[in-house]
């Protein structure tokens, strides 16, 4: 499992950007950048849509004012779902990143098997990443939403 001081695993993601499919790597997204990153179990799910993503949308300008180069939201969904969810949540200032095969999530040790609900998904967490290295990490207990919110991560800056 990732921990403070861990280097992020090198993986390839999917991202729909301006109607075009992109496949950025970990290096593309994190090298030389300070990134606020959070992962959710699923796009369009209740807690993720009502609280988790909206907090980062609302505080995006405050993250940027503190030197964050990008805010990335990751889910084990496809890029089309992530793009639609971002548009539905007015998340134009965030990178809505798809980990469709859970490659990053599994390599990071942040996977959980939700069985019939959706198979392998990400646990709920947030982290600050500086040049590909985790500098702060907040992992939620199963079924909780207490430490991975935008306010908590903003305070870590």
Q: Any idea which residues carry the catalytic annotation?
A: 48
Three-state DSSP class for residue 63 = helix
* Residue matched to tokens 């993601």: 13
Sign of CA dihedral 139, 29, 89, 60: positive
Q: Which residues pair with 128 in a beta bridge?
A: 36, 136
Phi, psi for residue 100 in degrees, rounded to 5: -55, -40
Helix (H) or strand (E) holding 84: helix 79-88
Joined tokens for residue 139: 């992992």
């Amino acid at each position: 499992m990732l921990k403070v001081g861990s280097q992020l695993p090198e993986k390839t993601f999917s991202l729909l950007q301006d109607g075009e499919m992109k496949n950025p790597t970990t290096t593309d997204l994190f090298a030389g950048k300070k990134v606020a990153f959070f992962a959710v179990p699923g796009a369009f799910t209740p807690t993720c849509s009502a609280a988790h993503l909206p907090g980062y949308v609302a505080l995006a300008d405050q993250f940027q004012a503190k030197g964050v180069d990008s805010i990335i939201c990751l889910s084990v969904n496809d890029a089309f779902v992530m793009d639609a969810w971002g548009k539905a949540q007015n998340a134009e200032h965030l990178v809505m990143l798809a980990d469709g095969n859970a490659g990053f999530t599994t390599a990071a040790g942040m996977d959980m098997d939700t069985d019939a609900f959706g198979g392998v998904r990400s646990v709920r967490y947030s982290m600050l990443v500086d040049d590909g290295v985790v500098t702060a990490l907040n992992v939620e207990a199963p079924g909780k939403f207490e430490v991975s919110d935008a306010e908590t991560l903003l305070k870590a800056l």
